[in-house]
């Protein structure tokens, strides 16, 4: 999602791994955003509370593309760590790059979830379940590890200066929220009783973990904007990342409420259904407020000369979580307004995904996205 700042590399021998695989040197963890943004198009399309002819088939094609992208990015990242370990370590110790390690978890989870909701039409329920169990387990384990490791590095190694909080700080802590939102797909597959209840409550625990961590960071992010002004042009799209925990948490409470009656007894099941609405409606309202603010800042950045970078993938997954969140509210309230909100947001999601995808392909073919990154350009101050 972000163009990484240049980091120093150790001098290599005339014929080294770097010379053999130069195109992988700058393949950072932000490339998992292409997988996330593609998988959410399939998953959100399947969640829409309306029937659109041909949409299911289109979502199946997009799911297959997301699965292929996941395999390709995993292979590229493995090659990156194998051939360019100096750069990989520099990424991990760079406060601007390290938070993107949360994208690995979310990419695995997004593909696993879309396999259960869309891919099962192709591979069958049993195979889809097996894939989701593997990807969900790996994604959740990685997400929980990253949610601890990256904040730890921020405290003991990165030490970011005051007033430099960035929306990318949310990436490590939002991954458990994705697990909370997609875990309900597996609850009915578990044995009734203790297993289902444990899975349900584990998802609520990850919901709380991610939500409270997000609530700690959001004031820092907004304070940075107020006191330091707009983000650099290249990083302006990362403002959309704030929508991620908002839409994903709304999705999570809705999905968990759907499976609660079969997993936990009264009165908790009915209370969780009420919580899905009492929590989801206010949070969706704030998400729409932030969406309007983020769009305004992006328009300003475009007028200031913002050009394409991998940060544009920030327009996809966070908006997709708002689609699934609105769809869940439509399902629980029966309100047509939420149905049309979900449809409108899905149109925005598909448009953003198409633009980001085409521009990424162009950058790959030209080699621009595989070249050494440049420092982001600041927004020019205006006197008007």
Handedness of CA 141, 154, 8, 171 (dihedral sign): positive
Tokens 């939420």 found at: 338
Is pLDDT of 129 > 60? yes
CA angle 297, 164, 77 (to 5 degrees): 85
State pLDDT tens for residues 258-313.
Answer: 999 999 988 999 999 999 999 999 999 999 999 999 999 999 999 999 999 999 99
Q: Comparing 27 with 62, which gets the higher pLDDT?
A: 62
Structure token pair of residue 370 = 């595989």
Q: Helices 268-303 and 317-333 sit at what angle, rounded to 10 degrees? A: 140
Cβ contact 105:171 at 8 Å: no
Taking the C-alpha atoms of residue 5 and residue 257, their distance in angstroms, rounded to an integer, is 43
State pLDDT tens for residues 153-211.
Answer: 999 988 888 888 999 999 999 999 999 999 999 999 999 999 999 999 999 999 999 99
Query: Residue 171: CB partners within 8 Å, gap ≥ 6?
Result: 99, 100, 101, 102, 103, 106, 241
Burial per residue of 275-293, b for 16 or more beta-carbon CB atoms within 10 angstroms, e otherwise: bbbebbeebbeebbebbee
Mean pLDDT of the region 77-87: 88
Is pLDDT of 24 > 80? yes
Is pLDDT of 371 > 50? yes
What's the pLDDT score for residue 17? 40
Percent of the chain with pLDDT over 70: 91
The overall pTM is greater than 0.75: yes
């Amino acid at each position: 999602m972000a163009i990484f700042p240049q980091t120093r590399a150790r001098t290599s021998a005339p014929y080294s791994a770097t010379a053999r695989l130069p195109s992988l040197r700058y393949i950072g963890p932000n490339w998992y955003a292409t997988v996330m943004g593609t998988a959410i198009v399939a998953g959100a399309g399947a969640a829409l509370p309306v029937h659109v002819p041909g949409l299911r088939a289109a979502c199946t094609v997009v799911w297959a593309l997301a699965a292929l992208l996941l395999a390709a990015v995993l292979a590229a990242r493995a090659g990156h760590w194998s051939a360019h370990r100096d750069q990989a370590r520099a990424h991990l110790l760079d406060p601007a790059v390290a938070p993107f390690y949360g994208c690995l978890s979310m990419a695995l989870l997004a593909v696993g979830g879309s396999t259960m909701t869309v891919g099962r039409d192709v591979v069958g329920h049993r195979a889809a379940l097996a894939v989701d169990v593997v990807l969900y387990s790996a994604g959740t384990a990685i997400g929980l590890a990253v949610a601890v490791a990256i904040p730890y590095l921020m405290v003991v190694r990165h030490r970011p200066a005051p007033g430099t909080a960035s929306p990318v700080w949310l990436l490590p802590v939002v991954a458990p929220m994705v697990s909370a939102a997609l875990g309900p797909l597996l609850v009915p597959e578990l044995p009734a009783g203790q297993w289902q209840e444990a899975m349900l409550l584990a998802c609520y625990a990850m919901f709380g973990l991610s939500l409270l961590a997000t609530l700690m960071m959001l004031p820092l992010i907004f304070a940075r904007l107020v006191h330091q002004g707009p983000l650099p042009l290249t990083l302006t799209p990362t403002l959309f990342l704030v929508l991620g925990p908002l839409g994903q948490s709304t999705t999570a409470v809705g999905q968990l409420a759907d499976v609660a009656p079969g997993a936990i007894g009264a009165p908790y099941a009915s209370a969780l259904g009420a919580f899905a609405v009492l929590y989801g409606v206010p949070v969706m309202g704030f998400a729409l407020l932030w969406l309007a603010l983020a769009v305004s800042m992006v328009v300003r950045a475009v007028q200031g000369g913002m050009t394409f970078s991998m940060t544009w993938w920030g327009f996809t997954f966070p908006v997709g979580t708002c689609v699934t969140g609105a769809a869940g509210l439509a399902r629980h309230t029966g309100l047509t307004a939420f149905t049309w909100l979900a449809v409108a947001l899905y149109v925005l999601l598909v448009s953003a995904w198409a633009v980001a995808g085409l521009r990424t392909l162009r950058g790959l073919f030209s080699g621009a996205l595989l070249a050494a990154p440049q420092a982001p350009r600041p927004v020019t101050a205006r006197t008007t």
